[in-house]
Amino acid sequence: MMYFLIRRTVGFIATLIAVSIVVFAVMNILPGDPALTILGMDATDDALAALREDLGLNEPLLARYFGWVAGALTGDFGLSHSFRVPVSELISERLAMTISLAVAGMLLTLLIALSVGIYAASRHGKAGDWVTMFISQLGIAVPAFWLSILLVLLFAVNLRWLPPGGFPGWSEPVAAMRSLILPTVALALVQSAVLARVTRSSALEVMRQDFTRTARASGLSQRRILWRHVLPNALVPIVTIVGMQFAALVTGTIVIENVFYLPGLGRLIFQSIANRDLPTVQALVMLFAIIVVTANFVVDLLYVLIDPRLKARA
């Protein structure tokens, strides 16, 4: 158990270090001169030299890397070029939006996918199974941004139930929640389609085992068997996919925030790329990578909780 935790933690930290090296390298070595990237081809030599000094580009590469990491560890990502404020300030203003979207999207995904998947498994081979699996197949085939546009057309433009986009700020909680409903649904639907199918097949696998029949023989109701025995045993593949989906949801916010004009990290990364704001882009790419790696780490830890055999062995 202890050994397992230590190994996974070491792996987690090693991955983060590797990721930071890759992100730094891509931003600073591969494309050429960062100052040129920021200022464009027709910048004067003086301006370029000044910016290089400003960015610390005249220092050796290794020193710049460690400077960046040391800063990042204390929450200092340098100054944003286009916004003229610290990158950390830009991020902290927008982090809540992106995290709320991703977490709400994940919860909605779980709610839809587990119910639908377990329902389909319990109706295996019957009409209910067919219909739900057909719809989920459609859900998988549909791109999230297109679904978002459909949702906006239906619920915002035609029915006028919800705002089409924009965000009034957290000071108006009801309006803020309302403006997050469509983006959350758009994020969750595609992911639930995938997860529902995984849940169904994993549940069917468990239902083939004798202990579900033993449970039936003991007079347990179908519903109790499904939630007590089938779902818990079906969790390992489900949790694996959920970990990957959380990463997909976080990166999915980039598209969704741009479709719905929400002030989050996804919008920020678009703006920063358009503005060639290198320090901000670098910080954001690193941040998204950290979220993805952390989600995977959490999944690894969850396995131990889910599976008593792992708990004993690990």
Which of 193, 233, 242 lies closest to 210, judged by CA? Answer: 233
Question: Of these, 211, 223, 227, 301, which contacts another protein (CB under 8 A)?
Answer: 211
| Span from 1-9, 108-116, 139-147, 304-312 in contact with another protein (CB under 8 A) | 304-312
127 touches another protein (CB under 8 A)? no
Q: Taking CB under 8 A as the rule, does residue 125 contact another protein?
A: no
Cβ distance to another protein smaller for residue 188 or 234: 234
- Provide the minimum distance between the beta carbon of 148 and another protein in the complex, in angstroms, as a whole number: 39
Residue 197 contacts another protein per CB under 8 A: no
CB 293 within 8 A of CB 52: no
Whole-angstrom distance, CA of residue 242 vs CA of residue 247: 9
Tokens linked to 2: 């202890």
Closest CA to 236 of 276, 203, 192, 272: 203
Q: Which of 81, 200, 229, 267 binds another protein (CB under 8 A)?
A: 229
Q: Which of 16, 115, 307, 314 binds another protein (CB under 8 A)?
A: 307
Contacts of 8 (CB under 8 A, 6+ apart): 297, 300, 301
Does 308 contact another protein by CB under 8 A? yes
Instruction: For the chain, state the CA radius of gyration.
Output: 24
The per-residue b/e assignment along 43-59, b for 16 or more CB within 10 angstroms, e otherwise, is eeeeebeebbeebebee
Question: Of 16, 99, 220, 290, which one interacts with another protein (CB under 8 A)?
Answer: 220
Reading the block at residue 240, the tokens are 């694996």
Single residue of 70, 221, 223, 227 touching another protein by CB under 8 A: 221
Shortest CB 109 distance to another protein, Å? 23
Q: Rounded to the nearest whole angstrom, what is the least distance from the CB of residue 62 to another protein in the complex?
A: 50
Using the minimum distance from each CB to another protein, give the nearer residue, 44 or 218.
Answer: 218
284: exposed, middle or buried (Cβ count in 10 Å: 0-12, 13-18, 19+): buried
- Chain residues binding another protein by CB under 8 A are 209-211, 213-221, 224, 229, 232-233, 306-309, 312
